[in-house]
Amino acid sequence: MRIRSRSTPCSSRRSEALSTKPWEPQTPLDEDREQRPYDAGVAHQVWSAQSHAAAALTAYQAPFRGHRPRVGLWWGGFDLSATRYNGRPVTPPATHPVFMQNGMTGEVVSVGFALGDEQSPHPSFYAYISPAPDGLESVDFGVPEAAWIPQAGLVVLPWDAVRSSDDPEATVVRFADAVYRAAVDLGGWPADLVGERHDGWHASRNPVFEPAG
C-alpha cells in the first residue's frame, strides 16, 4: 500500500532569494567590491598553524570521558575550538543573541586557537571556563607566558611562546590541562572525567603483520 505524505514538498518551502546581509563583515554581499588578492604564502602559513594547533588540541581532548565534540573551526574568526561539557545546565544570559544562547546552555571548558583580529592582532591560544569561577587570577596555567585577562574573560597563551618552546604540542597540552584543573579546583568540575593520557598505537611504528619466517 502506498502512503502519501501530507507534508509540503521541500521545494515549495525554499526561499527564492538569498539574503545579502552577512553577519561579518557588515557590507552587503552584493555591494562588496573590495579586492582581496590571494596570497599563497599567507594561506600556507595559516594552514600550517591551524594544522599543528588542531593536532595539539586533539591530543589534549583524547583522555576526556565526557561529551567532547571534535576540534572544530568556527565561522567568522576561523578560530579552532576544543570544548568539554560536564552535563550541568546553565541559563544563558538574555542579553546575548539567540544563536549564542543556544551554545551557552551548559557548563563548558573551552580551549582554542585564534589567528587574531584588529583588537587582538597576534595569534594565540585561548581558554575559558563558563561560568567562570572566582580565583582565576591566581592560577598557574602551566606555561609562564599564559595569563588570565579578566576584561576578556580569557586565559591567553601567545603563539610565539608555543612556537619557540622545545615541544610545542606538549606546551599546548600542559596549558590546556592546567585550565581544566582550574575548573576542577575552583569550579567543581569532576576530576574523574579525565583518564590517563597514553601515547597511542601508531601503524608507522608498529608492524601490522609479523614478517614471514
Strands 72-73 and 80-89: what pairing? antiparallel
Per DSSP (E only), the strands in the chain are: 72-73, 80-89, 106-114, 124-130, 147-149, 154-158
Domain contains 169: yes
Domain contains 71: yes
Q: For the chain, how many structural domains are there in total?
A: 1
Lowest-confidence region among 28-42, 53-67, 143-157, 176-190:
28-42
Alpha carbon 58 to its chain centroid, in Å, reads 10
Q: Which three cell numbers stand for residue 11?
A: 521545494
Region 131-149 average pLDDT:
96
Domain contains 162: yes
Domain contains 13: no
pLDDT at 113 > cutoff 90: yes
Domain contains 33: no
Question: Which pLDDT belongs to residue 76?
Answer: 73
Domain contains 101: yes
pLDDT in tens, 11-41: 444 555 667 676 666 778 788 888 889 999 9
pLDDT at 160 > cutoff 50: yes
Question: Which pLDDT belongs to residue 97?
Answer: 85
Residues 6+ apart with CB under 8 A from 61: 68, 71, 82, 84
Domain contains 145: yes
Of 154, 127, 125, nearest to 50 by C-alpha is 125
Domain span at residue 154 reads 40-187
Calculate the average pLDDT of the chain.
Answer: 86
Does residue 180 sit in helix, strand or coil? helix
pTM: 0.79
Question: Which pLDDT belongs to residue 34?
Answer: 87
Domain contains 115: yes
Task: Quickly state the pLDDT bin for 3 (edges 50, 70, 90).
Answer: very low
Distance CA 62, CA 56 (A): 10
